[in-house]
Amino acid sequence: MDTKNRIEYWLQIGHYGLVSAKAMLETRRFLYVGFLCHQVVEKCLKAYYWHTQNKEPPYSHNLLLLSEESGFDDLAGEEHLLLFNELMPLNIQARYPEDRELLLKSLTADKCGDLYKKTKDFYKWIKRLLG
């Protein structure tokens, strides 16, 4: 598979996650909205990694690491880094929710709607950049 196809592969998986995050938001399954938004951004950063490094991205869920190693940090605005920091803990906490009730209380409809919007905007932006 060439680089172009690998970029498209990661973006397609990201889109699937975005559609899934919207479904979780609409059905008020808030624990998974943050997790899926994290997954979308992770897939986008892996596509960007292919774009800049022309090789397989690191096996990592760390958005800040992927951003740095792909060179995205040079391009990132403050809003991107804030989103990455906001999403990072949701990847682990959604998978291993020790304090499930506390986490669910923090993930309100407004909070999840905001996360989804920011993630969708990021996805559209990076897709245009890589297109």
User: Using one digit for the tens of pLDDT, what is the confidence trace for 41-65?
Assistant: 999 999 999 999 999 999 999 999 9
Instruction: Give this prediction's pTM.
Output: 0.92
Q: How confident is the model at residue 111 (pLDDT cuts 50, 70, 90)?
A: very high
Q: What average pLDDT score do residues 35-41 get?
A: 96
Which two three-digit tokens encode residue 129? Answer: 């950049």
**48 with 70: CB under 8 angstroms?**
yes
∠ at Cα 101 (30, 105), nearest 5°? 55
Could you give the percent of the chain with pLDDT greater than 70? 93
Give the total residue count for the chain. Answer: 131
Classify residue 43 as exposed, middle or buried by CB count within 10 Å of its CB (0-12, 13-18, 19+). buried
Choice among 41-55, 73-87, 95-109 with the minimum mean pLDDT? 95-109
Which two three-digit tokens encode residue 53? Answer: 């490094």
Q: Give the start-end residues of each E strand in the chain.
A: none
